[in-house]
Structure 1
Amino acid sequence: MAAGGLDARFVDRLSERHTCPVCLVALREPMMTKCGHLICNDCVRPLARRGRVVCPLCREEQNESEIYPNNYDKREIMSLKIYCDQQEKGCGWKGELRERETHNETCGYVDVLCKHECGEMVMKKDMESHMKKTCMNRKVECRYCNTIVTFKYLNDYHTKCEMFPVACEYCKQQVVRGEMNEHVSKDGTCPNRPLECEFSEAGCQFIGNRNEMTIHVQNELASHLSLLMKQQSNTKSLLSSTRACLAKRECELEFITKKVGIQGSVSQLDICVFEWNITNWLDCRKKAELKPCFMIESKSFYTGPQGYHLCLLLYPMGYGRYKGSHVSVDACVCKGDYDDQLPKKQHCKFSFTLIDQQPDAINVVVRREKTVELVPEEFFDATDDFITHGKLNSRSYIQNNEIFIQFCLQLNVL
């Protein structure tokens, strides 16, 4: 559109009288010069020099005050017939020039910015279809779970949708994501998922899919019975030796208590021994395979009368850079009843010991020892590489689906 005049698509050719000699389009707010010529109001101002204007047609010089508005020609121009500005896009509207702005407000061929702020310019008549079918910011329903999602994020949402079908890594069947864990679980429906023999706790090392497992159990009844009998015998021997060991420790503890005594508002033993029996080991291991940060927590205990309050942690699938290859152990100083009366920091030596449960191997253990500074309500400097999974299964550290870990803490270590 020209700076001064009205640039429009006229139905009939615009007359020379109604054409501005400066901007060369239809006159806008026409002004009559003293010499009888018409110029747009906005086009007069650039012609003025020190209050005088030179007519661009006849070059007659005149005062600005001698130029005045011409409403008659203005009405004639505004009544001229024009086409819609969007004629090339397909709009067939025709009307008077004065109706132009009113028509543009409702014209379906005018480009407007998408209401969903996707950045697209769309013709008004196509806006509804655009917002429903092609706008990247339109809301759509996930076909799998019916959740409402912005279209441009739909593919990302499918990577975490619980109802999205994914291929099982073992049998390649399509299973919805939320049911995959159940599908590959011990009691699930996956036919190819590797399973440990149900007699693995007794020492059977066989691993196979469901069909192979059925055949194995049927063919190995005698060997499984032998393993169970051996396990029962070992358990009896272990229980006997454990009782003897506990009786000995009770005597030692009683002796230490009498020797150290309990005096004043705070008193604690220099040595604390805690026996941790972890049951259902295989279930814990499987949970950790599905959830690598899974940990087992012991019952809390005190280091002695009015002592520090501790709790042990075990990560079946390891922690830190040993995740997936080791079993990791840690200890935590919990909030206790006597913290206000205890030293804020104290050096100590601690050890974790994994006991081999074979009666003839009572002294075969895995022991990891460290000296650290004990601080209330903080973790110890843990043992992330306590034992590898291979070594854990190499001896009888696991019996009856249980493992035994002994934790020993020695205070006042310099």
Structure 2
Amino acid sequence: QKYLCSNCNNVLKKALQMLCGHRYCSACLSWILRNNKNAICQKCKEEDPSTLSEGSLLAEERAFGDAAINKEISELQVHCVTLGCSWSGIMRHFEEHQSLCEYALIPCHTGCGHVVMRKKLADHLENGCVNNVTTCQKCQRSLSSSEYQQAGWRRKPELCERSPSSFLFSENCSAPLINKDGCRFSEVGCSFRVSETAVLREVSALCMTQPLVWPTFVFRAVGLDVNISSRKQRNSTHVQAMHLRTQYHSITVLQGWKGPLKSSSPTYNPTLTSTHHLNHGTECLIRSPLKHLQELHRCLTQKDAGLSSLHKSLLFSEQASYDGVFLWKITDVGRKLQDSVTGRTVSLYSPAFYTAKYGYKVCLRVYLNGDGTGKGTHMSLFFVVMKGDYDALLPWPFRHKVTFMLLDQNHREHIIDAFRPDLTSASFQRPVNDMNVASGCPMFLPLSKLQSPKYAYVKEDTLFLKCIIETN
């Protein structure tokens, strides 16, 4: 459970721990904060809504990168669950495997809507993808693979060349290759169109220039037998040619009517122009208020973001301390201790505080069930140096004495421990990341003493930790 995100319930990616102790993926937390104002930890709500506190509020400044959990997750032994795949390894290599797994189902990148195994993608693009475009070497037309296969494009040398002759006839075809829609390849995408007028014009011109030496396809075009051997048949073809010529002249007369019809069209132009201007004016009237509404929406969105940022800053200011003295109230201690024992939430971070107005930024980290040499027997308390806004102006390494106190709520016997920083330790150098490695007291207080009824360190399921940094 400790490796699972409190939002998506999947294995944590770039784990962040909140003040309440629950962990979230970095992307999940960003999504929650982007879509919710004053977001509350969902796990805290589910476990015990009556114990919600300020620590349950979700905010970026309350989240801390959990390097220990991220490292543990990266070393977990995992295996690929994709059917047919036998890969196994550690988590940090899994994402690389996911991008290469031959058995993974992936969507076709052409946008055809099919989902195929990665190893079968090449075969899908070759034979089944309707959006995979292939260029015909003969006519330079772009065709999908299904169209390419359907037309038998690779096997036919008599491809469309977009001219009436080659468009109409084929050397190994016994009938004219024309239909009412134009090119015989129109079913598979050819956009070339030709009218009967153009057909007759070309055939008639061919008749007039070469009446006796006609190509085979002309005879087919007029419905004659290809094997012309006698003079009688040849005379018959002359009659057919004259018939074609007469039809051509009739079409020319009809085309002469185009001029008068075209000249009458300007009568309607003023009305059409007026209608066009009216439509344009209406569109402008609609577009102007719509643009104004969009601008108002953008301004409101910016103001919402500003208010959210101010709210976060206000919460941070209320809890922050700027004199090197910090009092940390931890509620719901019993449940949090149990979570630490089970490994669900092993540690808690305090809000950040400062040694001075422009001083060092620090926080506390507590392991209620102990860490390192104190795990399972003691409560461990650590000091963490964080990256601050004014680090460039401060002397490094951090060298101030740190004092920890666990307050007895009956004011009898406080637990006190103190240490001076090891100036050679990386924990006290200027931070490169959000925070340095924690340093402090792994055996701060025996658990038996923390839970003993003789003492009042935990009262009403609440304890108080105090940190004092000597700045003199």
Q: TM-score, normalised by structure 1?
A: 0.33
Which fold has the larger relative contact order, with Cα–Cα distance below 8 Å and residues 6 or more apart in sequence?
Answer: 2
More strand by share: 1
Larger radius of gyration, structure 1 or 2? 1
More helix by share: 2
